[in-house]
Amino acid sequence: MGSGKRGLLAAAVTVVCAVTVLAGAGTAFASVPPDLSATPTASGAPAPAPSGSPAPGTTPGPAPSATPTPAPDKDLEKIRKRLDRLYREAAAATDAYNAAEEKADKQSARLDDLNERIAEGRKRLKRLKDQAGATARAQYRNGGLPPTARFLLSDDPQRFADSAAVILNGERATKKLLTEMTRTQKELRADSDDATARMEKLEADRADKAAAKKKIKKRIADAELVESRLEKKEKERLAELERQAAHAAQTAWLDSGALDGVSGKTSAEGKKAVAFATAQLGKPYVWGAEGPDSFDCSGLTSQAWAAAGHPIPRTSQEQWRRLPHVAVADMRPGDLIIYFGDATHVAMYAGDGKIIHAPRPGRTVTVTGAGTMPILGVVRPNG
C-alpha cells in the first residue's frame, strides 16, 4: 500500500475512535441525576465540577458520606416555638422557686424570733414560779393561825396590824404574780403552737422550692438537648428566625400606636433604677440569681429598685400583684413591664420603646424592644 493510502486510512481510524469516545462521554453525563448536577452560579453558568469528580466516561465509585441537610425553616420555626415554650416553663418554675425561697426565708426569720421569745418566756416563767414559791413559804410561816387568834394572842396589837397589812399586800402581790404567770404560760403555748405551724409551713415551702428547682433544671436540660442537636448553620438560622420574630412583634406593637403620648420623663428614683439596670448589661442570666454577677428577670428589677432606695417584691408575679398598675400610654422609664398571662417575666422600661431585661438561660442582660413579647401590663414601684 502506498504512503498516501496509508495516511488516509490512519486518519479514518482516528476519526472513528474520536466519535466512539464522544458517544461514551455523552452517555455518562446523561446518566447523572438532575439533583447531583452542577449548581448554577449567580451568572447562570454551571459551577465547575467539585474536585475529585470522576472523569467523563468512567464508572463513579461509592458516593462519599453527605453532610446533613439543614432543616427547612418550617422545621426550625417549630423548634423555635418549642424552645420558647421550654424556657417559658423554666421561667414560671423560676418564679415559683423564688417565691418559695422568699417565703422560706421569712418563715425562718419568724421562727428565729419565736424561738427567742419562747426562751425568754421560759426564763420569765421560772422567775415567776420562784417568786411564787418564796411568797407561799413566807405566808405559811406567818399564817399558821387565823388572823383573830393571832390578834388575841399578840402582846403588841399595833405590830399585829402592821403585819396584817403586810400580809394583805403580799396576798395582792401573789394574786398579781399568779395572773402574770398564767398570762406568760398562755403566751408560751401560743408561741409554741405558732412555731410548730410555721415549721410545718417552712418544710412545705422548702418542698415547693425543691420541686420548682427540679422542674427548672429539667426544662433547661430539655431545651439544651434540642439546641445541641442542631448543626452550626441551623443554629445561625434559628437565631435569625428569632430576630425576625422579635422585629415583627416590635414593629406591630409600634404600629399599633402603643407609644402615642408616652413621655420620656421619669422620677429621680426611676433614673437611678434605670442606671443600675444599664450597668448590668452583658451579665449572664442565671435562674434564682439577684446579683451582683448574674441575674434572673425579677432579680434584676428588684435589685435595681433596691439600689434606687425603694425595695419591691422579689418575683415578677408579686411585682404584678402588689405594685400600682399604670396604663401603657402613661408608662415612664423605670416602670416595670410584666409579660405573659401568668406574669412570669418582667423587664424595666428604659424609654424610646426599649426595655432592659435578663431574657433566659444562655443569654445575658440586654436591651430589646418592649413589644417583642406579649405585654400583660405595667407597674410603677414608686407610683
Closest CA to 83 of 226, 217, 216: 226
Percentage of the chain lying above the pLDDT 90 cut: 34
- 345 given a catalytic annotation: yes
Q: What is the pLDDT of residues 68-112, one digit of tens each?
A: 555 667 788 888 888 888 888 888 888 888 888 888 888 888 788
Quick one: pLDDT band at residue 295, thresholds 50, 70, 90?
very high
- 297 given a catalytic annotation: yes
pLDDT at 286 over 50: yes
- 357 given a catalytic annotation: yes
Q: What is the pLDDT of residues 341-382, one digit of tens each?
A: 999 999 999 999 999 999 999 899 999 999 999 999 999 999
Closest CA to 378 of 315, 345, 336: 336
CA distance 291 to 120: 38
Looking at residue 93, its pLDDT comes to 84
Higher pLDDT, 378 or 131: 378
Q: What is the mean pLDDT of the chain?
A: 77
| Given 17, 247, 325, 357, the catalytic residue | 357
Q: What is the pLDDT of residues 21-72, one digit of tens each?
A: 333 333 332 333 333 333 333 333 444 444 444 445 444 545 554 455 556 6
Mean pLDDT value across residues 323-338: 95
Quick one: pLDDT band at residue 197, thresholds 50, 70, 90?
confident
Looking at residue 49, its pLDDT comes to 44
What does the longest C-alpha to C-alpha distance in the chain come to?
185
Higher pLDDT, 253 or 120: 253
| Given 17, 247, 297, 310, the catalytic residue | 297
Q: How many CB atoms lie within 10 A of CB 376?
A: 19
Mean pLDDT value across residues 301-316: 96
Mean pLDDT value across residues 189-211: 82
Beta strands across the sheet bearing 375-379: 325-326, 375-379, 336-339, 345-351, 354-357, 366-369
Looking at residue 313, its pLDDT comes to 94
Instruction: Please check whether residue 364 is in contact with residue 283, taking contact to mean a CB–CB distance below 8 angstroms.
Output: yes
| Given 17, 247, 310, 345, the catalytic residue | 345
- Which residue blocks in the chain are alpha helix, DSSP H? 3-30, 73-142, 147-153, 157-228, 232-255, 268-279, 297-307, 316-322
Q: What is the DSSP letter of 63?
A: P
